[in-house]
Amino acid sequence: MEQQLLDYNRAISIAEGTYWIGFHDVQSGLHCNPYLILDGNEAVVIDAGSRPDFSTVMMKILEIGIDASSISALIYQHYDPDLCGSVAHFEDIIDRADLKIISDKENNMFIRHYAVSSRLISIDSIDHAFKFSSGRKLQFFNTPYSHCPGSFVTYDTKTRVLFTSDLFGSYGAHWDLFLSLSPECHTCQYLEMGSKMDLERCVRGKTYCPIRDIFRFHQMIMTSEKALGYAMQIIQKIPVAMIAPQHGSVLSDPRDIRFVTQSLALLKGVGIDRIIP
Ligand SMILES: [Fe+2]
Ligand SMILES: [Fe+2]
């Protein structure tokens, strides 16, 4: 995908019937990435976004050419305000008695505090899957404590896009919706050194290292090496073609996906392990 052709003021198609509908906030190092999946006349929104971002996100949905009432479900992969803050606004504009708000039961006890009026559905009550009326299936995989007890990821069996919420996220001044690593990144000797990484200094002399921002984000946000390693084990078993995180950038090169997944599985100094080695 050519970066220079992308207009971040519009919804951007990342896969068949799948759109990035986020707010490109140039002032913030934390870019939030809500996504919409459109299947026929039915739409689902994943990690819909914060309250301040609501008008931008909703405008992009309307620009895709769908009516808000086409949204049959809102999926929240954990309960933070950067993805759930606008839930009551979405309920108002969608205005459907049968709107489904789907999350893990561990998240739902917090999500209801966003003044939700719709019925909250837990993923274990629907066999960890959501079916569009066409039969298209989204599968949910729990990734406990990465970073919330009820965190999970969502896999679209049609496009093989995996929506990972904070996993594979990144924090930093540099942002593009799509990230492609340089071939030499795959052989970065610092990454292979695990706990002895020195990502301040790129061995190839590049000024910007996207991996450094990804690692820092996980070390700060995830709870422990054990929880992150477990999440990567789960994800490695899924036949993923694209990673679509709630922060940072989309990965679509299979080598990049494999490399970042393996690197995160070995990452040291994550969460409490950073404080109590
Ligand atoms: Fe979060
Ligand atoms: Fe987040």
Q: How confident is the model at residue 189 (pLDDT cuts 50, 70, 90)?
A: low
For 3-12, 31-40, 94-103, 114-123, which range has the lowest pLDDT when averaged over its residues? 3-12
pLDDT, position 200: 66
Ligand nearest to the CA of 83: 2
- Does residue 194 have a pLDDT over 70? no
CA 165 / ligand 1 centre spacing (Å)? 7
pLDDT, position 241: 98
How many helices, marked H, and strands, marked E, lie in the chain?
9, 14
CA 259 / ligand 1 centre spacing (Å)? 23
CA 81 / ligand 1 centre spacing (Å)? 8
What's the Cα-to-Cα distance from 163 to each of 15, 94, 155, 244, rounded to whole Å? 12, 22, 6, 5
- Does residue 107 have a pLDDT over 90? yes
pLDDT, position 198: 61
pLDDT, the chain, mean: 92
pLDDT, position 5: 79
Ligand nearest to the CA of 79: 1
Tokens of 21: 């509908």
- Does residue 206 have a pLDDT over 80? no
Instruction: Give me the residue label for tokens 């990804």.
Output: 214
- Does residue 195 have a pLDDT over 50? no
Q: Which of 17-31, 197-211, 236-250 has the highest mean pLDDT?
A: 236-250
When pLDDT is averaged across residues 226-240 and rounded to a whole number, the result is: 98
State the Cα torsion 13-16-17-23 to the nearest 10°: -20
CA 205 / ligand 1 centre spacing (Å)? 32
pLDDT, position 185: 82
pTM (global) more than 0.85: yes
Please report which residue ranges of 65-147 form alpha helices under DSSP H: 81-84, 87-94, 105-111
Phi/psi for 203 (5° steps) reads -65, -25
When pLDDT is averaged across residues 92-100 and rounded to a whole number, the result is: 97
Instruction: Give me the residue label for tokens 């066409």.
Output: 134
CA 126 / ligand 1 centre spacing (Å)? 23
pLDDT, position 52: 94
Q: What are the structural domains of the chain?
A: 3-127+136-175+214-275 (3.60.15.10)
The helix (run of H) or strand (run of E) holding residue 141 is strand 137-142
Query: How many CB atoms within 10 Å of residue 266?
Result: 16
When pLDDT is averaged across residues 241-256 and rounded to a whole number, the result is: 97
pLDDT, position 201: 67
Residue-wise pLDDT tens digits, 38-63:
999 999 999 999 999 999 999 999 99
- Does residue 239 have a pLDDT over 90? yes
